[in-house]
Amino acid sequence: MKLFLIALSVGLGYSQVSWERLKNAQKEPQNWLTYSGSSLGQRHSELASIHPGNVKDLELKWVFQAASFEKFEATPLVVDGILYTVQAPNDIVALDAATGRVFWTYSYAPSKESRVCCGRVNRGLAILGDVLFMGTIDARLVAVDAKSGKSIWSTAVARPEAGYSLTHAPLIVKDKVLVGVAGGEYGIRGYIVAYDAKTGKEAWRFNTIPGPGEAGNETWAGDSWKTGGGSIWVTGSYDSDTNLTYWGVGNPGPDWNGDGRAGDNLYSDCVVALDADTGKLKWHYQFTPHDELDYDSVQVPVLGDIEVKGRARKVLMWANRNGLYYVLDRKTGEFLTGKPFTKVTWMEGFESAGRPRKVASAAPSREGTVVYPGVQGGTNWYSPSFSPKTGLFYIPAWDNSFSTFVKSPDTYKEGQRFIGGYPRSSFGLNRGLQANTRKPEDGHGAVMAVDAATGEKKWQLDFIDVTDSGILTTTTNLLFTGNREEHFYALDAKTGDVLWRTSLGGAMANGPITYAVNGQQYVAIAAGNGLFVFGLRR
């Protein structure tokens, strides 16, 4: 049946994934059509075959071993029985989603000029029609035929030699492919750019660091905006009701020395809401003004409709690297909730309109300053999940973690690191390559469930080591996640109770997904260098 459908779609020149399908992705839970499962960013599925009563019967169905030693950060797409993923840095692999057999591999060798701060990684793909889109670490956007794996077009988004790269999965809105540039440790000036999906021609561009004449440029001293960072490295969201696309923006540059960039440094560490047709800024909210702690706001913007203070609201939910959970009105940007989910020492409360009262002494210094959360944040880019079923927001967290932030002078030179200091990790020096000898006082990983409206903590599952794994929830109140302890979990989303776990022998640094083929539900996560796919014993 599946093969027949594939043959049929090729034979008739059928454009497989229309914008209508993408816009309503949550209505076809057998597929996983975008990075977060739908443009709402919830990483929540309506598939119900696997539930708390049978999750203990999960078994390994197949494994894909990547021919890559890079970290496996990609979330796969699943389209009508075909699974597409990225073998880091930038090979695309198409597999039979039921068996793991490979259809084709698209090989891409990034330019030697590419330079990335934090690993030659890629977080995934987008699809529109029969075309897959991928950003590359040498800052190109490539369009590849989903049936043959052959290149259709490729365009230079930015100059890799200047430290620009693309690491996140693109976002499709209507007929456009949206991407943003990474490189916040290289003194880049960030932007989000939309390309015509058919031609690769630029449609609009939004500068995350405004230049002269653009609103917000006044928040940068002198010429500091020119190297202001504001990178984009996690996929944004889209709301068809407002026609706004929401993106989290990275740290200002240089990371740990703000002396040369007095001011709030907009739109670093912001969520920006852009008109999806024009790229014009509708509103923004800055989580961490004048950041010197590398608190990138590059988390997935999660959209949902919930009740806040007795009133039904269309909101944007956000667990930020700075250690606070936020709720904003997604039409207006109005600040509704801001509450720490872990120990936070860089701020103490809010002024009006949600502006944080920063603690002046919690800034990098020559001697080093201890600040909570540490450089990796209370959370980071790891996908959170929102379950409309439980009303809870789930955070992959680093609880009670700190760093000692050291400030040093830095001078911008194109293509070289421009960071202005360094953080010292909180954990001790006895750590082996795969071993964990972390002390309790060094902080630890956790899965946290907070009330989506108030940020009030409902439950927490603690690990000894930290976690880089995203979270998936399902309508049957299951929660799937992994960690650096190499365990893959199914939890009860209401209580945090462990219902099932298995050791995958490698850390997980990507978000789990679920999909179905021929009525069988699967759950997939990458661990180490392999993609592991589970399903119920039959």
Which residues here bind another protein, judged by CB under 8 A? Answer: 69, 71, 73, 89, 106-121, 142, 151, 154, 185, 233, 255, 294, 296, 375-376, 380-381, 403, 413, 415-417, 419, 422-425, 427-439, 462-465, 468, 485-487, 509
Residue (317 or 419) nearer to another protein, CB: 419
**Choosing from 264, 294, 296, 451, which is the catalytic residue?**
294
- Shortest reach from residue 464's CB to another protein, in Å: 5
**Residue 184, both tokens:** 């916040």
- Sign of the alpha-carbon torsion through 513, 514, 515, 516: positive
- Shortest reach from residue 142's CB to another protein, in Å: 8
- Shortest reach from residue 64's CB to another protein, in Å: 17
Residue (26 or 111) nearer to another protein, CB: 111
Q: Active site includes 294? A: yes
- Shortest reach from residue 32's CB to another protein, in Å: 22
Residue (5 or 102) nearer to another protein, CB: 102
**Residue 444, both tokens:** 């630890």
* Cα distance between residue 326 and residue 345, in whole Å: 17
- Shortest reach from residue 435's CB to another protein, in Å: 4
Are the C-beta atoms of residues 229 and 253 closer than 8 Å to each other?
Answer: yes
* Cα distance between residue 526 and residue 33, in whole Å: 18
C-alpha pair distances (Å), 408 with each of 24, 102, 222, 258, 366: 49, 49, 20, 10, 6
Residue (308 or 464) nearer to another protein, CB: 464
Residue (453 or 525) nearer to another protein, CB: 525
- Shortest reach from residue 149's CB to another protein, in Å: 10
Parallel, antiparallel, or unpaired for β 140-145 and 131-135?
antiparallel
Residue (3 or 429) nearer to another protein, CB: 429
Picking from 450, 432, 434, 431, the residue whose alpha carbon sits closest to that of residue 442 is: 431
Residue (365 or 430) nearer to another protein, CB: 430
**Residue 1, both tokens:** 């049946």
Q: How would you label 209-236 residue by residue, b for 16+ Cβ within 10 Å and e otherwise?
A: bbeeeeebbebbeeebbebbbbbbbbbb
3-state secondary structure of 27: helix
**Residue 508, both tokens:** 């997980």
3-state secondary structure of 161: helix
Residue (156 or 308) nearer to another protein, CB: 156
Contacts 24+ apart (CB under 8 A), 330-337: 330/239, 330/242, 330/244, 330/246, 330/273, 330/303, 331/242, 331/244, 332/283, 333/271, 333/273, 333/282, 333/283, 333/284, 333/285, 335/285, 336/308, 336/309, 337/308, 337/453, 337/454, 337/455
| CA angle (235, 239, 244) in 5-degree steps | 80
- Shortest reach from residue 264's CB to another protein, in Å: 22
- Shortest reach from residue 269's CB to another protein, in Å: 14
Tell me the residue type at 387: S
Picking from 502, 379, 389, 369, the residue whose alpha carbon sits closest to that of residue 447 is: 379
* Cα distance between residue 398 and residue 130, in whole Å: 39
- Shortest reach from residue 298's CB to another protein, in Å: 8
* Cα distance between residue 252 and residue 267, in whole Å: 8
Residue (425 or 475) nearer to another protein, CB: 425
User: Helix, strand, coil shares of the chain as percentages rounded to 5?
Assistant: 5, 40, 55
Count of H-run helices and E-run strands, the chain: 2, 38
Query: Catalytic amino acids?
Result: 294
